[in-house]
């Protein structure tokens, strides 16, 4: 089972935005292997008692978020839609994640698997972005999906790859030198993929993620070397930004122009203008039903009624979400839903953060903890301008990377629970 989990973890992160349906197929295969293992080894369920209160707390947060979402579906009779009708199963993903978290705690994977997986995934994303922009001439790299989650996840995978490069610098072995090259390449490729996707919201997260990496690196690298490497990364990113082929300057200028037109000339049909309209609509709908919200399906109907009354631009009716996880969740599931969302963000940050401050914690533990914290921080930022958790790859990416980082961290902290399994026989 340990070997299987290593395979699932590697394939999930490596194929997350590279292979269509890879995110779903790998997760379901991992869940299926867990069910088979439980069926064949019912006596080993006693090892579930080895889970600590933090494991249980994180599982409860996942169950609470998914459970309330399912209740919302039950009361309205509507399922999420999502791009390409891929959203119908979204409420189940947090429940699956809780089960897979337990599986990864019972049969943990090593940090090397995590760093290799995210690095290969970032390399794949960056390569696809270069091919689509430079060879195919696409306006935005997207790999057949929404360009926003593609760019955001590419950036996150790249940032995690750079964290993996720091982990590799701790040891001189040949294997770690090879992984170091892959991780550094993945870090650069992930940032390139994000820039070429034209995802402006993700670019706001880039400085924050780089700052987290810089802080984590201070315990691994000499300060002078660290500052030189940081300067090198900034130079590379700056060169990419100013290149006309990247389209970054044009996208930023367009966003500034859209905001100015919205506030000074009441032009609401632009890309940014429609976002502002959706946020206004969501805020108004939340005020009308602050406790439980409007629910799946009913939110869209209420929004469209307001559009017909002329309160908002008709263009917002084209979307099945409000382009903000906080606003969409508050309007759709009210204050209760908002609390579950804040727990989904906040509890992992707290759990990872407190392990970076444990006296005597080694560099390995601090790096993995910082990586886990980075996943939540990144999605908070991504969710400011896009409903990432209503996108199939966005939600599965957040939950998957989160529980993988958590399981790897716990494996670094203490002897694997799998050792207890072997002692119990079979």
Structure confidence at residue 246 (pLDDT): 58
Burial of 357 (0-12, 13-18, 19+ CB in 10 A): exposed
What pLDDT, in 10s, does the model give residues 212-265?
888 888 877 888 888 888 888 788 777 766 766 556 667 677 677 777 777 777
Per-position pLDDT tens, the chain of length 426: 777 888 889 999 999 999 988 888 898 888 888 888 777 776 666 556 678 889 999 999 999 999 999 999 999 888 887 766 677 789 999 999 999 999 898 888 899 999 999 999 999 999 999 999 889 988 888 898 888 999 999 999 999 999 999 998 876 665 678 899 999 999 999 988 988 888 877 777 888 888 888 888 887 788 888 888 888 878 877 776 676 655 666 767 767 777 777 777 777 778 778 888 999 999 999 999 999 999 988 899 999 998 998 888 888 888 888 999 999 999 999 999 999 999 999 999 999 988 877 666 678 888 999 999 999 999 999 998 889 999 999 999 999 999 999 999 988 876 544 344 344 433
**Count of CB atoms within 10 A of residue 181's CB?**
12
Look at residues 416, 419, 306, 343 and name the one whose alpha carbon lies nearest to residue 65.
343
How far is 18 from 318, CA to CA, in rounded Å?
A: 27
Structure confidence at residue 359 (pLDDT): 60
| 47 to 65, 96, 410, 418, 422: CA distances (angstroms) | 26, 19, 15, 9, 11
For the full predicted model, state whether its pTM sits above 0.85.
yes
Burial of 144 (0-12, 13-18, 19+ CB in 10 A): exposed
Backbone angles phi, psi at 175, to 5 degrees: -60, -40
């Amino acid at each position: 089972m340990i070997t299987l989990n290593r395979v699932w973890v590697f394939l999930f992160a490596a194929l997350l935005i590279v292979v269509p349906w890879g995110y779903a197929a790998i997760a379901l295969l991992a869940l299926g292997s867990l069910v088979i293992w439980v069926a064949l080894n019912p006596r080993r369920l006693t090892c579930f008692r080895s889970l600590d209160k933090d494991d249980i707390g994180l599982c409860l947060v996942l169950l609470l978020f998914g459970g309330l979402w399912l209740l919302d579906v039950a009361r309205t009779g509507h399922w999420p839609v999502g791009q390409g009708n891929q959203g119908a199963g979204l409420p189940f993903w947090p429940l699956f994640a809780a089960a897979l978290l337990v599986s990864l705690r019972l049969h943990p994977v090593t940090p090397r698997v995590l760093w290799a997986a995210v690095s290969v995934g970032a390399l794949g994303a960056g390569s696809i972005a270069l091919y689509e922009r430079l060879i195919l001439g696409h306006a935005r790299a997207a790999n057949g999906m929404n360009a926003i989650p593609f760019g955001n996840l590419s950036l996150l995978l790249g940032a995690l790859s750079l964290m993996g490069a720091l982990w590799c610098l701790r040891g001189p072995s040949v294997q770690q030198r090879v992984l170091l090259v892959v991780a550094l390449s993945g870090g650069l490729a992930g940032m390139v993929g994000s820039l070429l996707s034209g995802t402006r919201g993700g670019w706001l997260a880039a400085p924050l993620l780089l700052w987290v990496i810089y802080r984590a690196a201070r315990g691994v690298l000499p300060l002078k070397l660290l500052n030189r490497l940081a300067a090198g990364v900034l130079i590379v990113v700056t060169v990419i930004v100013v290149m006309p082929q990247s389209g970054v300057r044009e996208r930023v200028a367009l966003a500034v122009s859209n905001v100015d037109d919205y506030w000074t000339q009441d032009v609401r049909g632009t890309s940014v203008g429609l976002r502002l309209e959706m946020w206004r609509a969501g805020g108004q709908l939340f005020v009308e039903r602050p406790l439980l919200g409007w629910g799946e399906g009913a939110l869209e109907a209420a929004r469209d009624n307001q559009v017909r009354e002329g309160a908002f631009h008709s263009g917002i009716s084209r979307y099945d979400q409000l382009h903000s996880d906080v606003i969409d969740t508050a309007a759709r599931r009210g204050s209760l839903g908002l609390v579950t969302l804040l727990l989904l963000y906040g509890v992992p940050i707290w759990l990872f953060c407190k392990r970076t401050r444990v006296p005597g914690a080694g560099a390995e533990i601090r790096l993995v903890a910082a990586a886990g914290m980075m996943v939540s921080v990144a999605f908070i930022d991504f969710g400011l301008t896009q409903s990432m958790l209503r996108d199939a790859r966005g939600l599965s990416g957040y939950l998957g990377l989160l529980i993988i980082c958590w399981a790897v961290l716990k494996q670094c902290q203490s002897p694997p629970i799998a050792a207890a399994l072997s002692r119990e026989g079979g």
